[in-house]
Structure 1
Amino acid sequence: MLLATAVAVFPPLLSADCDSRVFLDANRNGVYDAGERGVSGVGVSDGTHIVLSGRDGRYRLPASPGKTLFVIKPSGYALPMRSDGLPDFFANQAGTAAGLKYGGVLRSDTACKSFALQPLAQKPEGPVSVLVFGDPQPKSAVDLDYYARDIIAPLRADPAATLGITLGDVVHDDLTLLAGVKQADRQLGIPRLYAAGNHDIDFDAGDDAGSLESFRAQFGPDTFAWEERHANFIVLDDVIYQPGSKPAYIGGLRDSQFHFLARYLAGADKDKLLVISAHIPFFQTKSDAETFRTADRRRLFKLLEPFRDVLLLTAHSHAQNLVRHGPDSDWHGPGRLFEYNAGATCGGYWAGVKDEDGIPDATMSDGTPNGYARLHISPRDYRLQWFNARNRPNAAMALHAPQVLRRGAYPGVGLYANVFMARPDARVEVRIDDGLWQPMQRVNRADPRVVAQNLRDDAAPALSAYDRAPEATASSHLWRFALPTDLAAGEHRIRVRAIDEWLGEVSQDAVYRLETVNP
């Protein structure tokens, strides 16, 4: 729970302000009943201020339009689930933007709210397992069906998952689909936390402050904290809407969010993993333009310096990137600051040729299949895994190799290994036939498999899919090896293995053939 240093002090409350309680929901009905005892020391916030519940569970917090009240769920407790499948941890206050196309928050759910905490039925054991989704991003009901069948259906009643996080771009501009994504996610039966993305904005809002009214109506707060036994989680809206400008948004944080972060982090356990989830990457994704405001990143990273271990989860790129932050990206803390820029559940925007189940290939521009990640958190460490949608193919890497080369030709043709979740320090090696293991070289270039698909799409006389595969971009997890041509004529076996702390050891096989050809 939060320490007393996180308490915000306010003047005496007016009758319209919130005076309610955090209580132990002994009969598990989700509402306060006479005789149920309060829970002290639990944080309640409006996204800027934080107050702690007193010995009787009571808390007091000013209520104001445009704010969402929420409880910071403490470790060791569960929350009741709302009828829409979300954990019951928030109450929206009235919206501030009127006449929005998608409605926004039209009224208060309630002037204030009593928050129910339910005791866990039994003490949990093992690591915390978190499902991490980047960019579901359906642009139509058809895409929503792909998401439900490709991602959600195989994960129903997953016994290992304890929490889910969606890293923004819940939909692609059509905010009527927000409820559909939420309904699909409800089938997983676990609490889910949602960050907002640049495609989840009310683009007819007049300013940034009113740009997430429709998102709040569906998912509640855009900035909040949540605590589990091995980690504390913060979810941030890091999309700054700039109506009338080009681009219409930039990555960054508001002053109110920094106020919340300063209060929360002051009382948070510095030796516990801190997981911060947002949409726009905190690293700069372009060399010629600022994609996340540098001053905001520096201010955020300064607040994070006291923590032993911080994991940033972001999305937006529709590609996978693993970044170890250091002085070159404004990190000067003694602990570890790692950013996982997650691949998208929609992959390459639900594009590409459909398979036998009618679902598009959806490979991302860096060659990663669409899918989701799983974050495993133990008391002193964590690891990340990538899972291809429906486990098809059930592989941790993809190889690209020529089918045939001329025996004795200059060895300038490469074998490529795209290791989807390889860390930058992964060891990737290749063995030809029964020879020695040899290192492959990490390269920053496009996956030839995606380039080949782009060329096939260009050459096709007719459309092969509703949307073609995205144009290939450089992959940060691609390795190359020049295939030898001085071996005997005939077929040769290729085995590639990748080894790192998260992957363990994974391997993939291929073949190529050498032919003797006369001039």
Structure 2
Amino acid sequence: MPRLVLLLLSCIVFPAAAAQMSGRVFEDRDGDGGRDPREPGVAGVKMSNGRDIVVTDSGGRYRIPVRDGDTVFAIKPPDHAFAVRSNGLPAFWRHHVPRGSLKPRHGGIAKTRATGKFNVALTRQARSAAELDVLVFADSQPKTALQAGYFERDIIESVLADRPGVPAADLGLTLGDVVEDDLSLYPQMIRATARLRTPWLYVPGNHDIDFDVPDDAASTLTFRNTFGPDTYAWEEPGTAFVVLDDVIYLPGQKPAYVGGIGDDQFAFLERYLATLPDTHRVVLAVHIPLFDAPGAGETFRRADRLRLFDLLARFRQPLVLSGHSHTQRHVFHGADSGWTGAEPLHEYNVGAACGGYWSGVPDERGIPDARMADGTPNGYARVAFAPQAYRMHWVATGMPDAQRAMLLSAPKVLRRGAYPAFGVHANVYMGMDDTRVEYRIDDGAWTPMRRLEAPDPALTALNVLDDLSATLRSFDRSVTADVSHHLWRGTLPTDLASGEHRIEVRAFTRWDGEVRAVTGYRLDDAPPSAAP
């Protein structure tokens, strides 16, 4: 932290009449979560009430003003780890609700004791700055306990199989819509995710709010009671993660929310980001994307986006991770969206863990197909942060190895000599506008494929099968195919010999390097009598 900022934060004086929370951040050497006299305080730890920031003194002591309804939290320093609560979540926050909150259907926040003492236990964390491995889930979104079970069997079991016997990652994020409106499912989701033995941070989504409250300020009461603050920061070596509630609840309106950031959140952001040097990497974790959904008007308030961009513009290689869309897309913000940084701002709109809302025909495990509207299979992302760069990888759960990076769609048979109007499509899940995708037939020359924005043919085919079926093919039919932003097409030749032909596609992705997939088609000779 810049020395001048540290000095100023340490010297903040608050009115004596204001309610305060105070305590000590200490090194928990015996790991019991409680402080004994031999355990030293930890200096320089940032504490916040969601607006202000103070820093612990040489003995680990702090005090900070609180208002009814505040949540006081510690910002994890990069060289320490928090103690763990009984449910597996990190212990770094305490509510200040001495009169209790409103009582929405799912509980809200219970009355807290009047005394304002809150100690934070830390343990030393031996973590290299060379690379940070982060798991990213978006929109797990079960409606029922059965679907929460799908999440555990499909997503959590996939991660455990990938990293057996060890913590699954250095850090985990869920980018909102932890559940779909039934907040009583939170404990089941927490238990499942805790199996990964990874510190896990949760972002509130539009399906995580209390809809039976009068305003946005109360809309995350049950979320906060379960997960802690809805806006906070977490530091790892060289990287600061900012978890931000960007759902503005609009009771009585349609839609009942819009993307945006409130005044208290901006106060926190301005004060927190001022403590970081320009060279620090800032990763913003939100639910609603910062870009507007196509054809839906202003889905994120433009004034808030511009104000946020102004705060982020000075940092090296900032990154935005968002969810909500149930599609997967990479957006690079520039001048057209108000970004003024030296390089475009990368926003990775992460695909949904539930895919298309746990819909579609079940596989042999009994788990729905669940592909998203852009044809991306459901799954999760891994992001590896190194000092000078980062890498991203999408894990398509439940898919065979041949379809883990892309899915090919092609006709099974064409008439030999027919006009070449039919093609092979490649849905490259991590593809971007500039991704090079090529195909070849048999052992022929590699030919560029043309990028297009269109519905994925494989999902379109599932939609047709659902339409044509006289009986229900699944509990919920597959979602309707919508435009994919990572789809390529190549025309299939029909002037080759009769018989089977091999189609091979290769894509040169930014982080996975060259990935390949194979399919085929057959050319048949039609008898002359069949000609019109």
Aligned to 1:187: 195
Letter in 1 for 2:52: H
Distance 2:64 2:124 in 1: 25
Indicate whether 1:436 and 2:439 are aligned: no
Tell me the residue number matched to 1:104. Answer: 108
CA contact (8 A) 2:167 2:197 kept: no
Q: What secondary structure is seen at the aligned counterpart in 2 of 1:284?
A: coil
Whether 1:411 and 2:420 are equivalent positions in the alignment is yes
1:492 aligns with 501
- For 1:59 and 1:16, the matched residues in 2 are separated by 14
Contact 1:429 1:496 in 2 (8 A): yes
Partner of 2:5: 5
Contact kept? 1:2, 1:43, Cα under 8 Å: no
1:513 maps to which residue? 522
> 1:358 — aligned with what?
366
CA distance in structure 2 between the aligned counterparts of 1:275 and 1:336, rounded to whole angstroms? 14
Where does residue 144 of structure 1 map in the other structure? 148
Query: Which segment drifts farther, 209-218 or 6-15?
Result: 6-15
Alpha-carbon deviation of 1:5?
2.1
1:12 to partner: Cα distance: 4.0
Determine the C-alpha separation between the residues in 1 that align with 2:253 and 2:101.
Answer: 20
Q: What is the TM-score of this pair, normalised by structure 2?
A: 0.94
Q: Aligned partners of 1:367, 1:154: CA distance in 2, in Å?
A: 20
CA contact (8 A) 1:42 1:74 kept: yes
Q: Give the letter aligned to residue 473 of structure 1.
A: D
Instruction: Tell me which of 335, 342, 345 is aligned to 1:334.
Output: 342
Contact 2:22 2:116 in 1 (8 A): no
Corresponding residue SS for 1:476: strand
Q: Over aligned residue pairs, what C-alpha RMSD do you find?
A: 1.7
| Of 117, 129, 133, the match for 2:137 | 133
Residue 10 of structure 1 and its aligned partner are, at CA, apart by: 3.7
Alignment equivalent of 2:36, drawn from 17, 33, 37: 33
Q: Any gaps of 5 or more consecutive residues in structure 1?
A: none
When the two structures are superposed, what TM-score results if normalisation uses the length of structure 1? 0.97
Q: Distance in 1 between matches of 2:91 and 2:4?
A: 25
Q: Which residue of 2 aligns with 1:48?
A: 51
| C-alpha displacement of 1:14 | 4.7
What letter is aligned with 1:150? D
The percent identity for this pair of structures is 49
Give the distance between the partners of 2:487 and 2:18, measured in 1 at CA. Answer: 61
Q: In the superposition, relative to structure 1, how do residues 281 and 159 fare at CA in structure 2: closer, same or farther (>3 Å)?
A: same
Distance 1:232 1:347, change over 3 A: same
What is the distance in 2 between the residues matched to 1:201 and 1:3?
39
Cα distance in 2 for partners of 1:242, 1:187 equals: 36
Q: Deviations over 1:149-169 (max 9, x none)?
A: 111123234545111000000
CA distance in 1, matches of 2:476, 2:442: 40
What are the superposed Cα offsets for residues 62-118 of structure 1, whole Å, 9 maximum, x if unpaired?
A: 122221111000111111111011011111222764231111001227733111111
1:501 corresponding residue in structure 2 = 510
Q: Give the secondary structure class of the aligned counterpart of 1:267.
A: coil
Aligned counterpart, 1:57: 60
Change (3 A) 1:398 1:137: same
Question: How does 1:215-294 map onto structure 2 within 5 Å?
Answer: 215-294=223-302
Distance 1:35 1:15 in 2: 32
Alignment of 1:303-452 (within 5 A): 303-390=311-398, 392-393=400-401, 395-452=404-461
Q: Post-superposition shift, 1:423?
A: 2.6
Whether the 8 Å contact between 1:305 and 1:335 is mirrored in structure 2 is no
Q: C-alpha offsets along residues 370-426 of structure 1, whole Å, 9 cap, x if unaligned?
A: 100000011110011000124545520000001111122211112100001123221
Report which stretch shifted further, 366-375 or 405-414: 405-414
How many Å separate the matches in 2 of 1:170 and 1:137? Answer: 5
Q: Which amino acid aligns with 1:484?
A: P
Q: 1:395 & 1:54 partners in 2: Cα distance?
A: 50
Separation in structure 1 between the aligned mates of residue 103 and residue 26 of structure 2, nearest angstrom = 37
Partner amino acid, structure 2, of 1:269: P
1:40-61 Cα offsets, whole Å, 9 max, x none, are 1111001111111111111110
Question: What secondary structure is seen at the aligned counterpart in 2 of 1:450?
Answer: helix
**8 Å Cα contact 1:73/1:227 also seen in 2:** yes
1:204-227 alpha-carbon deviations (Å, 9 max, x no partner): 011000000000010000000000
For 2:96, the equivalent position in structure 1 comes to 93
C-alpha distance in 1 between matches for 2:400 and 2:192: 21
The corresponding residue for 1:297 is 305
With over 3 angstroms needed to count, the CA separation of the structure-2 counterparts of 1:252 and 1:125, relative to structure 1, is closer
Structure 2 counterpart SS, 1:155: helix
Could you tell me how far 1:288 is from its partner in structure 2? 4.3
> Which SS does the other structure have where 1:309 is aligned?
coil
Are positions 1:118 and 2:118 aligned together? no
* CA distance in 2 between partners of 1:445 and 1:212 (Å): 37
Secondary structure of 1:138's match?
coil
Instruction: Confirm or deny: 8 A CA contact 1:3 1:267 kept in the other structure.
Output: no
Separation in structure 2 between the aligned mates of residue 383 and residue 514 of structure 1, nearest angstrom: 41
Indicate conservation of the 8 Å contact 2:129/2:238, yes or no: no
Aligned residues of 2:241 and 2:284 also touching (Cα < 8 A): yes
Matched position secondary structure for 1:279: coil
On the 8 A contact 2:205/2:247 being kept in 1, the answer is yes
Could you list the per-position Cα deviations for residues 234-266 of structure 1 after superposition, in whole angstroms to 9, with x for gaps in the alignment? Answer: 000000000011110000000111111101111
Checking the alignment, whether the CA contact within 8 Å between 1:412 and 1:482 is kept in structure 2 is yes
Q: Deviation per CA, 1:290-332: give whole Å up to 9, x if none.
A: 1000010000001111011111000001110101111111111
Q: Which one is further off, 94-103 or 505-514?
A: 94-103
Distance (whole Å) between structure 1 residues aligned to residue 167 and residue 518 of structure 2: 32
Aligned AA (1:351): S
Separation (CA, whole Å) in 2 of partners of 1:392 and 1:130: 24
Contact 1:150 1:359 in 2 (8 A): yes
Question: Partner letter of residue 5 of structure 1?
Answer: V
Amino acid at match of 1:221: P
Residue 15 (structure 1) shift: 8.4
Indicate the SS of the match to 1:154. helix
Runs of 5+ consecutive residues of structure 2 not aligned to the other structure:
none
Q: Is the 8 A contact 1:91 1:108 kept in 2?
A: no
Spell out, residue by residue over 1:319-367, the C-alpha distance to the aligned partner (whole angstroms, 9 max, x if none).
1010111111111111341000000111110111111211111111111
| 2:77 partner letter | P
- Report the secondary structure of 2:431's partner residue: coil
Offset at residue 434 of structure 1 (A): 1.0
Change (3 A) 1:38 1:141: same
